[in-house]
Amino acid sequence: MRAARLAALLLVAALPAAAADYTPGRPLESHAGARLDYALKCKGCHGLRGQGTPGHVPRLEGFVGLFTHLPEGRDYLMRVPGVARSVLDDVRLTAVLNWVLETYGREQVAPGFRPFTVAEVAAARLRPLEDRKGLRDRMLAELRAKGLLAPEEDGIGRSPEPRAPGGG
C-alpha cells in the first residue's frame, strides 16, 4: 500500500510540467494565489461562486467560457474594464483570468483553448475597449446563432429588487 502510494507520488513528480496545456480541472502552478486575488478584487461584483450580481454584473459560472468560442472573445476577456483596469499586475491578472476560466468556465471552454499568457494580457489591457456593450451584445448573438446560448439568456438576468413605484 505504502509502496504503491510512493510509486504514484514519484510518477507524478516525474511528469513534465503541463503549464503549456490547458487542462481543465488541473490547477496550474501559475494559479497559486489566484483564488485569493479573485476573492479580493473580483468577488465583490462577480460573487464568490461566480454567480454575478443579477441585473448588474454577469455571472462567470457556466457563462464566461462561452466567449472562448468566438475569435473576438479572447480579446474581450482581457480588455473588459473589470479585468483590464484591475490593480493586479500583469502576472497576477493573467493567473486570475486563467483561474476564472478553469473554475467557472470548465464546462464551456472551447476545445483547444489555450491559457492566457502574461505577454498577451499585458498588451491587451492597454487597449481600451470601445463600445463594450455593443460588442458583448453582438457576441451573445453569435453564440445564440451557434446554438451555444439560449435566446433569453444574457448572463446578467434581472435584478431581484422590486421596481420603485411609478418607475419604468
Q: Considering the rule CB under 6 A, would residue 45 count as an interface residue with ligand HEC? A: yes
Q: Does 148 sit near ligand HEC (CB under 6 A)?
A: no
Closest CB to ligand HEC among 33 and 82? Answer: 82
Binding status of residue 73 toward ligand HEC by CB under 6 A: no
Q: Is 41 in the site for ligand HEC (CB under 6 A)?
A: yes
CA distance 164 to 93: 38
83 makes contact with ligand HEC (CB under 6 A): yes
Q: What's the min distance (Å) between Cβ of 24 and ligand HEC?
A: 17
Size of the site for ligand HEC (CB under 6 A): 22
Say whether residue 149 binds ligand HEC (CB under 6 A): no
Q: With contacts defined by CB under 6 A, name the span among 6-14, 15-23, 76-84, 110-118 that binds ligand HEC.
A: 76-84
Closest CA to 95 of 21, 38, 20: 38
Rounded to 5 degrees, φ, ψ at 57 are -125, 130
92 binds ligand HEC (CB under 6 A): no
Applying CB under 6 A, the residues found at the interface with ligand HEC are 41-42, 44-46, 57-58, 63-64, 77, 80-83, 86, 88, 96-97, 100, 132, 136, 155
